[in-house]
Amino acid sequence: MSIRMNLKLAVLPAVIMTGLVANPLHAETLKMSSWVPPTHFVYTQILEPWTKDVEKVTEGRVKVEILPKALGTPPQHWELARKGVADITWGNFTYEPDRFKSIWFAEMPFAGSDAKAQSIALWNSYNKHLKADPAYGGIKLLSVGMFGPGIFNHGSKALATLDDLKGQKIRMGGPIQQVLLEGLGAVPVSAPATKAYEMLESKVLDGSLHTPESVVNFRLTEKLPHHTMIENGLYGATFFLTMNEGKWNKLSDADKTAIDKISGEAFAAKWGEAFNQQNSDAEKKLTEAGHTFTPAAPELMTKIGEIRSKMLTDWEPAAKTAGIADPKALLADFEADYKALAGK
């Protein structure tokens, strides 16, 4: 055998190994279930870029494929990941309110208007306090997010005073919003945001609770021309990005570390930045369309504050039952983190 042939044979294994590293033949492909269409900004600006980052930071060893169709309804997505029906999911804690009572504090009035600050503060709260709640166990929580200030939106008038709200049929999406509306004299109507248009069209609703971006993204611009601005929000919403624990445990330590770096606080920040931009763009678009933005009257703000205080009083024993040693400290830490982060 020639010297040249011997050299080729000696180099061949190294070439093969190099190819395996650069182009892994056995990449772990994780299936992600998402319940918004691929045109929605959560998909295009948050989820899809994160999946690309996962592949990049793991050097192709881990890939995330967003399935073309959701594997269940939005409220099922925590369980879809926990049971391994999907490897990765995202969703809204509000959809299972009784299960996640410990996180209610972040959905009450005055939780903030800066979604980025909210989201990072909530991630800090999870790591410092919420992990003690068994409801979050049996799964890998990759990150969390919030969506900024929920506000009143109405079809024919501003809801600036308590008298304005009396008897008004308002769409809402959870128990915190229900307590708020009932306490303010309105009539809460439970329905998903996707049903708001047809219910407004048929006069089943007079108004609906949304963030500004939701008014635009759910195509409600023509149906809801009046908006009531509540300083630091009438209500909030909390979201999760989660992974099946068994799938997570099968990843190498190096890949876990890499994915953690682009998840957690980093993902929360990007989530919040996207919602901040969407809310800002929506307010501009709605203003240009001739919509009215009316600040809540002092009496309405006072009443909302009173309802919030009662909510917190009722929430504290429920949070303790869920495993939170000091609910007051949890709330104080969240508020301090938000204040330090807001506007940055």
Q: For residue 39, which phi and psi values (nearest 5 degrees)? A: -90, -10
Q: What is the pLDDT of residue 194?
A: 83
CA distance 131 to 238: 15
pLDDT in tens, 283-316: 999 999 999 999 999 999 999 999 999 999 999 9
Q: Are residues 204 and 193 in the same domain?
A: yes
Residues 6+ apart with CB under 8 A from 170: 152, 181, 186, 187, 188, 189, 205, 206, 207, 208, 209
Dihedral of CA atoms 276, 278, 279, 284 in degrees, nearest 10, equals 120
Residue 131 resides in a domain: yes
Q: What is the pTM of this model?
A: 0.91
Same domain? For 335 and 313 the reply is yes
What pLDDT was estimated at residue 173? 87
- Among 278, 309, 333, residue at a domain's last position: 278
Same domain for 296 and 226, yes or no, is yes
Same domain, 41 and 64: yes
How many angstroms separate the CA atoms of 196 and 209, rounded?
A: 10
Does residue 2 lie within any of the structural domains?
no
Residue whose entry in the numeric block shows the structure tokens 């971006």: 213
**Which H, E and C letters describe 38-105, residue by residue?**
CCCHHHHHHHHHHHHHHHHHCCCCEEEEECCCCCCCHHHHHHHHHCCCCCEEEEEHHHCCCCCHHHHH
- On whether both 167 and 118 belong to a single domain, the answer is no
- Assigned domain for 9 exists: no
- Does residue 125 fall inside a structural domain? yes
57/139 same-domain check: yes
In a domain, 4, yes or no: no
| 94 and 202 together in one domain | no
In contact, 343 and 117? CB cutoff 8 Å: yes
Q: What is the pLDDT of residue 9?
A: 42
274 and 319 in a single domain? The answer is: no
Asked if 196 and 298 sit in the same domain, the reply is yes
- The token duo for 252 is 């190498």
Pair of tokens at residue 117: 């600050």
17 found inside a domain = no
3-class SS shares of the chain: helix, strand, coil, % to 5: 55, 15, 30
Q: Is residue 286 part of a domain?
A: no
Strand stretches in the chain, DSSP E? 28-33, 62-66, 88-92, 139-146, 151-154, 169-172, 187-190, 207-210, 226-229, 238-244, 292-295
Helix axes 253-262, 48-57, angle to 10 degrees: 140
Residue 137 and residue 48 share a domain: yes
Q: Return the pLDDT at 180.
A: 97
Verify that 220 and 273 share a domain, yes or no.
no
Choose one of 244, 278, 312: the last residue of a domain: 278
**β pairing state of 28-33 and 62-66:** parallel
Closest CA to 195 of 160, 219, 164, 177: 219
Name residues of the chain where pLDDT drops below 50: 1-23
Regarding whether 79 and 181 lie in a shared domain, the answer is no
- How many domains would you assign to the chain? 2
pLDDT at position 327: 98
Quote the pLDDT of residue 25.
57
Residue 140, domain member (yes or no): yes
Range of the domain at 80: 27-147+236-278
Closest by CA position to 241, among listed 28, 109, 54, 56? 54
CATH number of the structural domain spanning residue 155: 3.40.190.170
